[in-house]
Chain A
């Protein structure tokens, strides 16, 4: 958290010295971007709190944590392939799950499929690439998520 603030402060001062007008534009952009995602943000936050509090964490986290990394990662990958949420909401949500002891391996499966595999956007992709190429690209994304998950798992010591 401190790193983000320090980096932001440093880059902002540099930007301010170089071009004041553009720095103000950056702040305005940041504000309008924030206002754009705020509704979705609040909705995801409320539903996450509700589901973690009411369905009891144990039941909900059972699939993501309790049955081992493989089941957890598959669950994460399925969720990531189907869900279509912007990264400005997805990564904060991932941080919450991480806080609730969901392993990095599972998070990586979720975020990578979220980026690379899109069930919802498949029709759009097919229009440009054709059915075969779009299908193969999405499957390749799924395979990639697997490799990234394993690498992340090894890096954070969750996998042997």
Chain B
């Protein structure tokens, strides 16, 4: 039996025992768990279905095609759009940085992509907006997108012309 099932059963037993023995902290745990589970049951199905739709319709390779020549504002735009489609975080984003480097993208655009792949991923954003509200997401994006471009600029001029991302 997997660990989480054992844990769930043990927890259920603990809550039942607490109810029988009028153990107040145990009762609180049970009540909290039920309240959390109710919230999750309301929000998880639409959120996962939205993320599923995203995965089914948006293919990363399509966006990647636009990343051929990276000059001017367009490069940043596509870097952020490409980052939005990343699945799996750093494990996918870092190898993609190498790909972008080989395609001749500038270090500013590559670092913009790397930072954006951490904070602008669409599936993640769907979860954020569902659970913390759209206002939270909009403010975070409005503040962090200029910042991540700024960080990419600062870092690439500090690292200098010779800096290259290396194959691990």
Contact = CB atoms under 8 A, between A and B. Distances in A.
A124 B119 contact: no
A49 B33 contact: yes
Contact of A30 (B37, B43, B48): B48
A87 B128 CA distance: 8
B17 interface: no
A116 interface: yes
Contact of A136 (B51, B98, B158): B158
A75 interface: no
Residue of B3, B11, B36, B50 most packed against chain A (CB within 10 A)? B36
B89 to A, nearest CB: 8
Contacts, number: 207
A147 B2 contact: no
Interface size band for A: 35 or more
Contact of B44 (A11, A34, A56, A152): A34
Contact of B140 (A38, A90, A108, A133): A108
Interface residues of B, number: 73
Interface in A124-139: 124-125, 127-130, 132-133, 136-137
Contacts of A108: 136, 140
Interface in B23-70: 25-33, 35-37, 39-40, 42-53, 55-57
Q: Is the interface of B mostly helix, strand, loop or mixed?
A: helix
A94 B45 CA distance: 18
A58 B118 CA distance: 33
Interface string B125-168: 00111111011100110111001100100110011000101101
Contact of B135 (A22, A115, A121, A155): A155
B166 A39 contact: no
B46 A46 contact: no
Interface of A: 1, 3-5, 7-8, 11-12, 15, 22-23, 25-31, 33-34, 38-43, 45-46, 48-50, 52-54, 56, 87-88, 90-92, 94-96, 98-99, 104, 107-108, 111-112, 115-116, 118, 121, 124-125, 127-130, 132-133, 136-137, 140-141, 144, 147-148, 151-152, 155-156
Given A132-B159, A144-B151, 11 more contacts: A1-B42, A4-B50, A15-B57, A50-B11, A52-B32, A87-B123, A87-B124, A91-B127, A91-B131, A144-B144, A152-B136
